[in-house]
Amino acid sequence: MGRFDERESPLSVRYEPASVKDLLVEMKDTAELLIDLSYSAVLHGSPTVAHEVVELEHRMDVLQMRARMSLMLAARSPDEAETLAPVLGVVGAADKISDAAGDIAKIVTEEIGLPDAMRGALTEGVETLIRGTVSADSDYAGRTLKDIDLESETGVRVIAIRREDDWILNPGPKTRLEAGDVTLLRGPETGVAEAYPELAQEPFEPAEPVEPAIDDLERAVDSIVLMKNLSELAVDLAYGSVLFDNAALAEEVNNLEIEVDALQSRFEAWTLRAAREADDPVSLRGLIHLGVATEEISDAALEITEGVARDIGVHPVVEMAVQESDEIITRTVVDAGSALEGTRIEAGIPATDISTSVIALRRPEEGWLVGHDIDTTLRAGDVVLSKGTRTSAAEFEALAS
Measured CA to CA, the distance from residue 281 to residue 127 in angstroms comes to 29
Burial class (CB in 10 A: 0-12, 13-18, 19+), 217: buried
- Outline where 155-305 has alpha helix (H): 189-200, 218-243, 247-274, 285-304
Radius of gyration over every alpha carbon of the chain, rounded to an integer in angstroms: 22
Contact 289, 255 (CB under 8 A): no
* Closest to 229 in 3D by CA, of 68, 374, 342: 374
CA quadruple 12, 13, 16, 19: dihedral sign: positive
**15 CA to centre of own chain:** 29
Domains defined for the chain, CATH in brackets: 20-121+212-320 (1.20.58.220), 127-200 (3.30.70.1450), 326-400 (3.30.70.1450)
* Closest to 68 in 3D by CA, of 15, 9, 26, 10: 15
**71 CA to centre of own chain:** 25
Terminal-to-terminal C-alpha distance of the chain: 48
* Closest to 87 in 3D by CA, of 319, 250, 247: 319
Phi, psi angles (nearest 5°) of residue 53: -60, -45
Beta sheet of 157-163, edge-to-edge order? 128-133, 182-187, 157-163, 166-168
pLDDT in tens, the chain (401 residues): 333 343 444 456 666 666 777 887 788 888 888 988 888 888 777 888 888 999 899 889 988 888 888 888 777 777 777 777 778 888 889 999 999 999 999 988 887 867 665 555 555 545 678 889 999 999 999 999 999 988 888 888 898 899 988 888 878 889 999 999 999 998 888 889 999 999 999 998 876 655 545 555 667 767 777 888 888 889 888 887 877 778 888 899 999 999 899 888 888 887 777 777 777 777 778 888 888 999 999 999 999 898 888 877 666 666 666 555 456 778 889 999 999 999 999 878 888 888 788 888 888 877 888 866 788 999 999 998 887 777 787 888 888 88
Residue 330's SS3 state is strand
Measured CA to CA, the distance from residue 252 to residue 152 in angstroms comes to 36
Measured CA to CA, the distance from residue 50 to residue 131 in angstroms comes to 10
Residue 357's SS3 state is strand
Count Cα neighbours of 354 within 13 Å in the Cβ-side half-sphere. Answer: 25
DSSP letter (8 states) at residue 287: H
